[in-house]
Amino acid sequence: MNVLGSYFEYIVEMLSDPLLLFNMAWATLLGILIGVLPGLTATLGVAILTTLTFGFPAKTAIAMLIGVYIGAIYGGSRTAIVLNIPGTPANAATTVDGFPLARSGYAGFALNVATIMSGIGSIIGALFIVTLAPLLGKLALQFGSWEFAVLAIFGTIIAGSLTAPKDPLKGWIAGFLGLMISQIGMDEITSYPRYTFGNIQLYGGIALLPVLVGVYGIPEILMSLKRTTKAEVALDFSKKKSDLSYGGTILKNWLNIIRSGIVGVFIGVIPGVGEDVASWVSYDLAKRSSKEPEKFGNGSIEGLSSAETANNACVAGAIIPVLTLAVPGSAPAAVLLAALWIHGVRAGPLLPIEHPEMIGNVAAMFTIATILMVIFGLVITRLFLKILLVPTEILMPIIFVLCVVGTYVLNGRMFDVWIMLLFGLLGYFMRLNDFPAAPFVLGFILGPMADTNLRRALMLAKGSLLPFVTRPVSLVLLIAIVLVIASKYIPKRRGAKNENE
């Protein structure tokens, strides 16, 4: 069955299954709510729903998780526009133009433009799942242990560079710390228990979900409870944008929208680099190519459109390597990968062989979730904003309880809750010292892949490292690693020299 065939077939199947549609609808709605609440990120939302959908059929659970993921990335735009605080990190670029628009009385227009652009971004993303994922899948089939080992290192390094552009060294340290800590537990080749110190609970390694909830959830809770300043809410719907219709906005921005969608997808494909980077990069590109760059930062519709199109397109981009390489493109996609494992779907190069319909089905889930998101966004979006009137001091303890409960129910043991807290404190410490969380989490996920494949590669080549440079894909990835490091370091050193002169 080809991908397009399975895509359309599953759309029809979903539309004729009211229970599945109902489950997707409430998951998408929950996602929007999670996105609206500052402090609750898409990662946390997908993680909590993973535990809730534990007993659901695999496809229903995956569809719901995609719904909550898309919903959360979109929902964050609501808060970004009316509160000037991104609901999720993905909406940071949205605040730049969304909030000035809202403050000048165009809150309704800005919210609806963001909804439409998020919808278009998601549809562009779904198109890329159908077209790009099978191609990447075919390429992944050529991968051997050498390529997977280098890919793990490449992913960690590039995630480190892009998520810590001001100080990539900190990004790399975070990434390699993640890789190192992931070595805890029984090793996959010899079953030797590493760093377990006789503790049976550590034999299976540290579960991904407690780490993700800890690193992303706890620092946010602590930061919010610690903060004493209150944000300004711009819920002013008094003016309508009479000089521009929604159709006119799309027509005027068509090139910007397509470019932002493509940029979003491709940044999503890069391991560990998520929606936040995608929206900033496309915002920057939109500003550079705009005829009215002076409007950026003062309520530019172009800027708002590019940020919102890119972050939702990036969701699809982040899912593509999950399906084809078992490498997550972003943090929420990492949870999605864990959820696929939990439901017995082995993502990676063999997915198109073991589950040939899966790529088309995921694209179909994506499309339906997008339609639901747009409907909810246009119809009941203002209702969600009421939640912003609930004080953070009440919300955060509730979110903490959800983090604890969500982690506990995964395996029904308090050990995971303690692990979550431990990684939460580590995450808080890292955030205080400007270490990005994304490369740490990506390193943690890719650690076992790096470990088994590096040793397998060494065993196959009897200790020779030569195949790493004689195999084309491995060589390309190695060159890319060198270029990424060089691009971050050399200009700085030159710059420093010039400054000294």
Partner 1 sequence: MKDKITAVIFISLALFFLINAMLMPFTTEYGKYGAPGIVPIVLSVIVILLNLIMMLRKKQEKAPVQITNGDRKKLFSFENKRLLISVIFCLTYVLLLGHLNFIALTSVFVSVLSLIFYRKKPILVILTSVLVTYGIYYIFQKLFLLPLP
| CB-based burial, 152-188: b 16+ in 10 Å, e otherwise | bbbbbbbbbbbbbeeebebbbbbbbbbbebbebbeee
DSSP 330: S
Q: Would strands 185-186 and 193-194 be described as parallel, antiparallel, or unpaired?
A: antiparallel
Stretch that binds partner 1, among 96-104, 105-113, 321-329, 387-395 (CB under 8 A): 387-395
Integer Cα distance of 57 and 43 in angstroms: 21
Cβ atoms of residues 368 and 14 within 8 Å:
yes
Among positions 82, 85, 164, 173, the unique one binding partner 1 when judged by CB under 8 A: 173
Using the rule CB under 8 A, is 402 a contact of partner 1?
yes
Among 238, 242, 433, 498, binds partner 1 (CB under 8 A): 433
Structure tokens belonging to residue 116: 């439409």
Q: How far is the CB of 101 from partner 1 (least distance, A)?
A: 31
Min separation Cβ 13 and partner 1, Å: 24
Cβ within 8 Å of residue 498, ≥6 positions away: none
Nearest to 172 by CA among 156, 186, 184: 156
Query: How far is residue 240's CA from residue 415's CA, in Å, rounded to a whole number?
Result: 54
The single residue among 69, 128, 150, 170 that binds partner 1, judged by CB under 8 A, is 170
Two tokens, residue 154: 């490449």
By the rule CB under 8 A, 51 interacts with partner 1: yes
Instruction: Determine, following the binding rule CB under 8 A, whether residue 292 of this chain makes contact with partner 1.
Output: no
Q: How far is it, in rounded angstroms, from Cα 364 to Cα 7? A: 5
- Does residue 180 touch partner 1 according to CB under 8 A? yes
Rule CB under 8 A: is residue 26 a binding residue for partner 1? no
371 binds partner 1 (CB under 8 A): no
**Residues of this chain, 446-475, that bind partner 1 according to CB under 8 A:** 447, 450-451, 454-455, 458-459, 462-463
3-state secondary structure of 227: coil
Element housing 225 (H / E): helix 208-226
N- to C-terminal Cα separation, the chain: 65
Residue number, 55 or 344, with CB nearest to partner 1: 55
Dist CA 56 CA 47 (whole Å): 15
Q: Is 230 in the site for partner 1 (CB under 8 A)?
A: no
Rounded least distance, CB 18 to partner 1, Å: 19
199 vs 245 by CB, closer to partner 1: 199
Contact in structure between 468 and 145 (CB atoms under 8 Å) = no
Decide if residue 138 touches partner 1 (CB under 8 A): no
Q: Does 189 bind partner 1 (CB under 8 A)?
A: yes
Calpha distance 168→180 (Å, rounded): 18
Among 16, 228, 238, 498, which residue interacts with partner 1 (rule: CB under 8 A)?
228
If one asks whether residue 192 binds partner 1 (CB under 8 A), the answer comes out as: yes
Computed from CA positions of residues 330, 331, 337, 343, in that sequence, does the dihedral angle turn out positive or negative? Answer: negative
Tell me: does residue 226 bind partner 1 (CB under 8 A). yes
Q: Which is nearer to partner 1, 352 or 447 (CB)?
A: 447
* CA–CA distance, 300 with 476 (Å, rounded to integer): 40
Nearer to partner 1, 433 or 498 (CB): 433
Stretch that binds partner 1, among 71-79, 217-225, 347-355, 471-479 (CB under 8 A): 217-225
Q: In residues, how long is the chain?
A: 501
Q: Is 237 in the site for partner 1 (CB under 8 A)?
A: no
Binding part of the chain for partner 1, among 199-207, 225-233, 275-283, 478-486 by CB under 8 A, reads: 225-233
Q: Which residues bind partner 1 (CB under 8 A)?
A: 51-52, 54-55, 169-170, 172-173, 176-177, 179-180, 183, 187, 189-190, 192, 194-195, 221-222, 225-228, 391, 393-394, 396-398, 400-402, 404-405, 408-409, 412, 414, 417-418, 421, 429, 433, 435, 447, 450-451, 454-455, 458-459, 462-463
